[in-house]
Chain A
Amino acid sequence: MIRIDSHRTRAHTRAEIRMMFSFREVMLLLGILALSVLCFGFCVYTVYAVVKYREGFRYARFLYLTAGVAGFVTAVTALARFVLYSAAAVVLFAANPDIHEELIFEDEGYTARNTAKNGVTFEGRYHYSAVKKVTTYKDFIKIESPEHSSVFRLSEITGGTAEELMAVLAGKLGDRVTHK
């Protein structure tokens, strides 16, 4: 039996974010920002054209105006998405979860128990076949199961050793373990 007493802090959250986000997600986020900047630039150009040629062909002015409005709305939508995703990441970084969680790994499965600050308690008993994914990053391990995920450090093991735990994870979970 391997016992872990994990006290979730900002370091755990940062590690979890690092495990979730890859280069692809960061480039996608920057792409959204670039799209927003391009659309704002296009919008400014069309407004400039409408103003410059205000004595000109009405049909063309309406075309520029419609394109400008479409560009503006696209720019605002993309910027709003970028801001929302960035704000969510900042809130996660800044939050201090302060949750105490106990995990017990046995032969057939594991048990996770925690109590949130507002008094909501959780106890989950999982057979290893229920585990969806395990991700390791430095000395952090994230284990994802139905209704629950846990992040803990190898240094938080209070019963058993890190080698025993890694052997259990490799043996029971095999290709569901990813190293980042």
Chain B
Amino acid sequence: MVRARVTYNDNHLKALYSLTKKPYVIKKLIPKILWTAVCLAAGIFFLRAAIILRSSSGYIWIALAFTFAALYIRDIIKLLSDDKGKNKLPPYQYSTELIFGGQAFEIIKTGENFTVHRDFPYGTINKAVETMNYFFIFVEAKKAFIIHKSELTEGSVPELEYFLASVFGKRFVDKRSVKI
């Protein structure tokens, strides 16, 4: 049996985001880049036309086009420098005990005024991923329990690796070379 006790903090969220961010960032980045290009092209076209025609009536369109381009560039910078994504910690404090062994993956969450016990049969778990410093247990496609390797309270990392490989088979993804 392997146990871990985790008190989630921003480092866990950053680790999860680092693991899952590539498709999310690409999906958000493509339309932003396209719109930045359109706004810049429109601004340059209007500016060129205003210079050639010596017209002052198009300045509002030039200003609008470059303003939108600047706003999109700001969004792109924000997206690329973000390290947590949309992941957030709940507003209440709690610690989580995770237990591997038996017929199901057990979670015991203990807060100041509540206790929650969940059992996930191993067949219902989406996948498990191991990186350099963390284990991620995905109970749904986008929901994961995150365990730093130093948070094991019973058993060892090799024991947990062996257990996950034997229970999950191909659903256990080895990414130990990934520096997360």
Q: A59-B53, A63-B61 are in contact. Are A118 and B117 (CB under 8 A)?
A: no
B120 CB–A CB distance under 8 Å:
yes
| A59 B118 Cβ-Cβ under 8 A | no
Q: Which of A63, A118, A146 contacts B124 (CB 8 A)?
A: A118
Chain A residue contacts of B90, Cβ below 8 A: 146
The contact size tier of chain B is 20 to 34
In the complex, are the beta carbons of A127 and B114 less than 8 A apart?
A: yes
Please tell me if the beta carbons of A120 and B115 are within 8 angstroms of each other in the complex: no
Contacts of A122 in B (CB 8 A): 116-118
Q: Give CA–CA (A58, B45) in the complex, Å.
A: 11
Closest to A63 in B: B61
Determine if B42 and A59 form an interchain contact, defined as CB atoms under 8 angstroms apart: no
Residue of A nearest to B119 (CB): A121
What A residues does B111 contact at CB under 8 A? 130, 146
Query: Whole-angstrom distance between the alpha carbons of A109 and B116 in the complex?
Result: 13
Q: Which of A119, A123, A127, A146 has the most CB of B within 10 A?
A: A146
Instruction: Select from chain B the residue with minimum beta-carbon distance to A111.
Output: B115
User: What is the bound-complex CA distance between A69 and B65, given in angstroms?
Assistant: 13
Q: Which residues does A use to contact B, with CB under 8 Å?
A: 58-59, 62-63, 66, 69, 109, 118-127, 129-130, 145-148
Give 6 nearest A-B pairs by CB, closest first: A127-B113, A130-B113, A130-B114, A121-B119, A119-B121, A59-B49
Known A-B contacts: A121-B119, A130-B112, A146-B114. Give 11 more (CB < 8 A).
Answer: A59-B58, A63-B61, A119-B104, A120-B119, A120-B120, A120-B121, A124-B116, A125-B114, A127-B114, A130-B113, A146-B92
